[in-house]
Amino acid sequence: MVDKVVELPVTIEIPVGPQHPALHEPVLLKAYVDGETVVKVEVNTGYNHRGIEKLCEQNTFYKDIFIIGRVCGICNTVHTDVYVRALEQILGLEPNRRAKYLRVVAMELERIHSHMLINAVMAEVVGFDTLFMSIMLDREKVMKAKEILTGARVMADYMMVGGVRRDLSDADAGRIAKLVEQVRERLTYYKRVFEEDTTITKRLMGVGVLKRVDAVRHTLLGPVARGSGVRIDARVSDRYDAYDELQPEVVVRGEGDSWARMMVRWDEALVSAEIVLSALSKLPRDGSPVPDERKLPRKFPPGEAYTRVEAPRGELTYYVMSDGKANPYRVKIRTPSFTNIVNSAFLYEGYTIADLPVILASLDPCISCMERAVITDLRTGERRTVPFTQLSRGDKAWRGRGFYLL
C-alpha cells in the first residue's frame, strides 16, 4: 500500500560545451532540461580572456593596430578599420577616396566569408556535412580574393592611419572581381538550398524565435536583430569610409527565427558581393592610398573618439581616449558577440536539446571576440517549488521578471 508520493523535480544539467558547442570555440552553455525541453540556460564563458584592452594601454597607438587585428581572426579588418578611424578622428586625418574604397572592398570580402563560414557551420550543426564541405570549398575563393588584396588569407593587417597598407593593381582588381562573380553565383545557389532543402528548413524554421522588442531591449545586434525586423546598420547610419557612395541595401526579415537569421546572412553576402564589384569597377584614382608609415605623426593630441562599424556580426564599437602620451589612455572594445551571447540566454528556453546548438550557431557567436565571461546563478531555493515545464511554458509569475529566468 502506497501512502506517500514523493515528487522529485526531474531536471538534469547538461553541459553543452565548452569544447565544441556549435562552433569550434570555447563557450559553455549549461542547459537545465526537463525531459527534452530546455528550461534554463546559463551562458558560461571566459575560456578565452586575454586582456587585450589592458594590453592596448601598454603599447603605442601604432602597435595597437596590429594587436587589435588579433582580437578576432574572422573579422580582423573591421576591428582594425574601426580602431584606425578612431585614431584618424583624434589626429584629424582623412584618407583619400581610393583608400576608402579599398577598405570597403576588404571589409565586404570579409563579410562574405564570415557569413559563408557561419552558414556552413550551421549546415554542419544540423548534420548536413556535405553542404558544410561544399560551402567551405567555395569560401576558399573569397579567401584567395582577400589574399590578392591584402597579402594574407586571414590576417590582413591592411588598415593603417591615413589609408591602407598596399595598393591594388588593375590586373589584380580584375582577378578579384572574377572570383567574386564566381562566388556570387554559388551564393545564389546556397541561398536556394537554405530556402528549399527540407533538412535545413525542418531544423531551423520556428526555432529560437526572437521578438522585435526583445532584440532591441537586450541589445542584440547585426543579422540577429535584422532577422527580427530591426532596421539597424552602421554602414547606413554612420556612412563611414566609402559607404556614403556605396550605399548597401539593408536586409531585414520579420520571422525572427534561426532560419530568418541565416537567410539575412545569405542576402547580406549577396549585397556585399554587389558592393565589392561596384567598388572595384569605380575605384577612384586620386593618388596613392598607401601612406608613408615613416612620416605618420608620432604624437597624438589629447582627445577621445567613439567609432562604430558594421562587422559581419553586428555593430562593433571602439572608444579610444588619448591623453597626449605615447600610449592610449583607454581603449574600449565592444564587440557584437558580447551582447549577442551574454544577453541572449532567454532565447533557448522552451526548445529541445537538439535545438540548442542550432540557436547558438544562428547567433554567430565569436568567442574570442567577446573574450568575456558571465555566470548567472541559479536560485536554488525557488527551484524546488516550481515545476520546470511551467517555467518554460510562460508562467506569468516567472516571465514577468524580465529577461533572465533565474
Partner 1 sequence: MARPRLLPAVVRSLLGRPSTVQYPYVKTEVEAAYRGRHYADLKKCTGCSLCAIECPADAIAMTQIPAHLEAPKSNPRRVYPKIDYGRCVFCYRCVTVCPFDAYVTTNFYGMAGPRENTSEQLSLGTLERVV
Partner 2 sequence: MTATLAQAGGFVKPNRRVFTLEPSRVRSVFLDLVRERGQEGFYVSTIVGVDLKEEGLIRVDYFVVLLPEEETVVLRTAVPRDNPVLDSIVDIVPGALSGELETHDLLGVLFQGNPYLRRGFFVPSDVAEKGVYPLRRG
CB atoms within 10 A of CB 214: 18
For partner 2, which stretch binds (CB under 8 A), given 24-32, 73-81, 193-201, 306-314?
306-314
**Three-state SS for 351?**
coil
Distances (CA, A) of 148 to 98, 103, 255: 17, 14, 38
Whole-number CA gyration radius for the chain: 23
Please report whether residue 51 would count as binding partner 2 according to CB under 8 A: yes
Q: Which does 54 bind (CB under 5 to 8 A by kind): partner 1, partner 2, none?
A: partner 2
Residue 387 touches which of partner 2, partner 1, none (CB < 5 to 8 A by kind)?
A: none
**From the CB of 51, what's the least distance to partner 2, in Å?**
7
Residue 49: CB minimum distance to partner 2, A: 7
* Residue 344 grid coordinates: 541572449
Q: Which stretch binds partner 1 (CB under 8 A): 27-35, 111-119, 196-204, 323-331?
A: 196-204
With 0-12 / 13-18 / 19 or more C-beta atoms within 10 angstroms meaning exposed / middle / buried, residue 14 is: middle
Among 50, 202, 212, 299, binds partner 2 (CB under 8 A): 212
Can you tell me the distance from the alpha carbon of 23 to that of 71, in angstroms, rounded to the nearest whole number? Answer: 17
SS3 at position 294: coil
Which residue(s) pair with 16 in the sheet?
29
Do you know the residue count of the chain?
A: 406
The one-character DSSP state at 238 is: H
Distances (CA, A) of 280 to 109, 181, 283: 12, 12, 5
329 binds partner 1 (CB under 8 A): no
- Residue 107 or 333 having the CB closest to partner 2: 333
Q: Which residues bind partner 2 (CB under 8 A)?
A: 46, 49, 51, 53-54, 57, 89-90, 212-213, 216-220, 230-234, 236-238, 302-308, 315, 317, 319, 321, 323-324, 329-330, 332, 334, 338-339, 342-343, 372-377, 402-404, 406
Q: Which residues bind partner 1 (CB under 8 A)?
A: 59, 62-63, 65-67, 69-70, 130, 134, 137, 147-148, 151-152, 155, 157, 165-166, 189, 192-193, 196-198, 293-294
